Structures are given as C-alpha cells and as structure tokens.
Amino acid sequence: MEFILKVDSKGRILIPSEIRSMLNIKGAVYARVKDGKLIIEPIKDPIDVLTSSVIRGTIDVEKEIRELRQVAFKEAVKKVEERWSS
C-alpha cells in the first residue's frame, strides 16, 4: 500500500484513516530517520498492554511488574540516547 501525502507549511503530514486503522495508531507515534527515510511506528498504549496482561491472567504479578518496568526503562534509555545522539 502506497500513498502520496502532502506536507503542509508547518511540516505536518496527515496519516490517512485507513493507515491509522490498519496500524492501530491512536495518540502518538515514534518517528526516526534511517538511511534517508522517515520511519513512523505506532506506540502501544501502556494501559492497553497492562490491561491485556490482567485479562490474560498471571501467575506471578510482581515478577511481571518487574519485567515491565525493566522493559520500560530500557526503552526510555534507548529513546533518550537516540534523541541526544542526533
């Protein structure tokens, strides 16, 4: 699926609704430039991730919370390093 998107005078790009629906883009996206290309990826809502964990059920809640915190910390460090290395 390919689209030609217009960039307005403020640099904004409108992502068509069919793309937003297909990728489940809601509030925020992660954007980066790699090899001269702009890459935009949806960010999973942490509440949805936690909700799905609770609905699925768990055996060791404290272990899963520790694991989620570790993942969140690593992602935060990665994003800070990417932002400040540019």
Q: 29-83: per-residue pLDDT in tens?
A: 889 999 999 999 888 777 776 776 666 666 777 888 888 899 998 888 888 888 8
Rounded Cα distance between 52 and 58, Å, is 11
**pTM for the full model?**
0.49
**CA 73 to chain CA centroid, nearest Å:** 15
- CATH fold, domain 1-43, is Pemi-like Protein 1; Chain: D (2.10.260)
> What are the boundaries of each domain within the chain?
1-43, 44-86
Neighbours of 59 (CB within 10 A): 6
DSSP 37: E
Q: Please choose, from the candidates 5, 48, 3, the residue with its C-alpha nearest in 3D space to the C-alpha of residue 27.
A: 48
Local confidence band at 25 (pLDDT 50, 70, 90 cut-offs): confident
Provide the sign of the torsion angle of the four alpha carbons 25, 31, 33, 36, taken in this order.
Answer: positive
Q: Is the pLDDT of residue 86 over 70?
A: no
